[in-house]
Amino acid sequence: LIACDAPAHAQALNLAGVERVLIAKPPVDHFEAHVSQRALEAAIDTLRPAVVLAGHTIDSLDFIPAVAARGRHGLAGDVTGLRFGAEGLVAHRESHGGKLLAEIDFPGKDTVIVLLRVGAYERASGAGAASTEALEVDLQDCARTEHVEFRDAPAGDVDIEKADFLLSIGRGVQDAENIPRFEELADRLGAILSCSRPVVDAGWLPSARQVGQSGRTVSPKVYLAMGISGAVQHIAGMSRSGTVIAVNSDPDAPIFSAAHYGAVADMLEIGEALEQQLRRPRS
Instruction: For strands 100-105 and 88-95, give the pairing.
Output: antiparallel
Segment interacting with ligand FAD, rule: CB under 6 A, options 106-114, 134-142, 232-240, 271-279: 232-240
Does residue 231 belong to the site contacting ligand FAD (CB under 6 A)? yes
Give the span between the Cα atoms of 74 and 54, in whole angstroms: 13
Does residue 253 belong to the site contacting ligand FAD (CB under 6 A)? yes
Does residue 119 belong to the site contacting ligand FAD (CB under 6 A)? no
Residue 55 CB, shortest distance to ligand FAD, in Å, is: 16
Q: Is 264 helix (H, G, I), strand (E, B) or coil?
A: strand
2: DSSP letter? B
Instruction: For strands 112-116 and 74-85, give the pairing.
Output: parallel
45: DSSP letter? H
Question: Which among 58, 103, 62 has a CA at the least distance from the CA of 80?
Answer: 103
> What pairs with residue 167 in β-bridges?
193, 224
Q: Which residue is nearest to ligand FAD (CB)?
A: 212
Among 172, 220, 262, 271, binds ligand FAD (CB under 6 A): 172
Residue 148 CB, shortest distance to ligand FAD, in Å, is: 29
Which residues in the 52-91 window bind ligand FAD by CB under 6 A? none
Residue 159 CB, shortest distance to ligand FAD, in Å, is: 16
Does residue 250 belong to the site contacting ligand FAD (CB under 6 A)? yes
CA distances from 19 to 4, 14, 16 (A): 22, 8, 8
Does residue 224 belong to the site contacting ligand FAD (CB under 6 A)? no
Binding residues for ligand FAD (CB under 6 A): 97, 170-172, 196-198, 210-215, 227-229, 231, 233-234, 237, 247-250, 253, 266-268
